[in-house]
Amino acid sequence: MIQLKSKNEIEKMREAGDLLARCHQEIKKRIKPGVSTWDIEVFVDAFLKEHGATAEQKGYNGYKYATCASINDEICHGFPRKTPLKDGDIVTIDMVVNLDGGLADSAWTYAVGQVSDKVKDLLDVTEKSLYLGIEQAVVGNRIGDIGSAIQTFVEGKGYGVVRDFVGHGIGPTIHEDPQVPHYGRPGRGLRLREGMVITIEPMVNIGDWRSTLDSNGWTARTMDGSLSAQYEHTLLITDDKPLILTKLK
Ligand code: MF3
Ligand code: CO
């Protein structure tokens, strides 16, 4: 069932989203060669606590950490770990913040030190694809319009868009209906309505879109070993343009 959100719920999610955007700003300052994703995990945990929020991912389906930290060919659900990041790596930090019952979910891929032009292009295309998807998230459009815009753009650049993981409705729990694939056909799927809150979170691989699952049962990585990036926002469908909840107020 799809939950349309009340004004009060939306206000709480907006506050959670603002805090999450601030947290990403702090992460950006901290990501550099020599720092580990465990350092980032510890920072995020403390930052959320300090601001009266909790990490919704911790304990979710047995997941143990506040953040997902996916390095290079890892697509998503990488575990934070103590290995230092190296110059030229990319790392996706994904997290769900709970502030007074309002949830917000956002992921960003960060470049560690200097990355190649090829990698910069991957990050650029992935971020642009997110905003192309968001543009389609308007009343009257369908879920397939979002996926189609993303897929057409990403594949036009010669990259692969991951199909095994999708965006989703969010609130009161992390994963609610509807599913929001980052591929698809225009005019297909559920019609978007005012008051729906969804995530759009394209994962883009330099190579093939296919993924494999690590033996830890969580971490997905590219089948061909190519690099993978991801940008994610939580947004509200309104009677006008979509409202991005996971940006600074
Ligand atoms: N933030 C992830 C998403 O975008 C959810 C991860 S759930 C976890 O869907 F348990 F793996 F953390
Ligand atoms: Co997320």
User: At 100, is the pLDDT very low, low, confident or very high (cuts 50, 70, 90)?
Assistant: very high
pLDDT over threshold 90, residue 146 = yes
Q: How far is the CA of 77 from the centre of ligand 1 (A)?
A: 7
C-beta 57 within 6 A of ligand 1: yes
User: At 188, is the pLDDT very low, low, confident or very high (cuts 50, 70, 90)?
Assistant: very high
Give the residue, by CA position, lying nearest to ligand 1 atom 3: 105
User: At 211, is the pLDDT very low, low, confident or very high (cuts 50, 70, 90)?
Assistant: very high
pLDDT over threshold 90, residue 246 = yes
Q: How far is the CA of 19 from the centre of ligand 1 (A)?
A: 17
Q: Which atom of ligand 1 is closest in space to residue 218's alpha carbon?
A: 11
Strand order in the sheet with 197-200: 176-180, 167-169, 197-200, 233-236, 243-244
Q: How far is the CA of 129 from the centre of ligand 1 (A)?
A: 20
Would you list which residues are annotated within the binding site for a divalent metal cation?
Answer: 94, 105, 168, 201, 232
pLDDT over threshold 90, residue 40 = yes
pLDDT over threshold 90, residue 237 = yes
pLDDT over threshold 90, residue 21 = yes
Which ligand is in closest contact with the Cα of 66?
Answer: 1
Q: Domain residue spans in the chain?
A: 7-244
Q: How far is the CA of 115 from the centre of ligand 1 (A)?
A: 26
Instruction: Write down the pLDDT at residue 68.
Output: 99
Span 225-234, mean pLDDT? Answer: 98
Span 35-61, mean pLDDT? Answer: 98
C-beta 55 within 6 A of ligand 1: no
User: At 3, is the pLDDT very low, low, confident or very high (cuts 50, 70, 90)?
Assistant: confident
Instruction: Write down the pLDDT at residue 226.
Output: 98
Give the residue, by CA position, lying nearest to ligand 1 atom 4: 105
Encoding tokens for residue 63?
Answer: 């997941």
Span 180-209, mean pLDDT? Answer: 98
Instruction: Write down the pLDDT at residue 115.
Output: 98
Instruction: Write down the pLDDT at residue 84.
Output: 98
Kindly report the pTM of this predicted structure.
Answer: 0.98
CATH fold of 7-244: Creatine Amidinohydrolase (3.90.230)
Span 48-68, mean pLDDT? Answer: 98
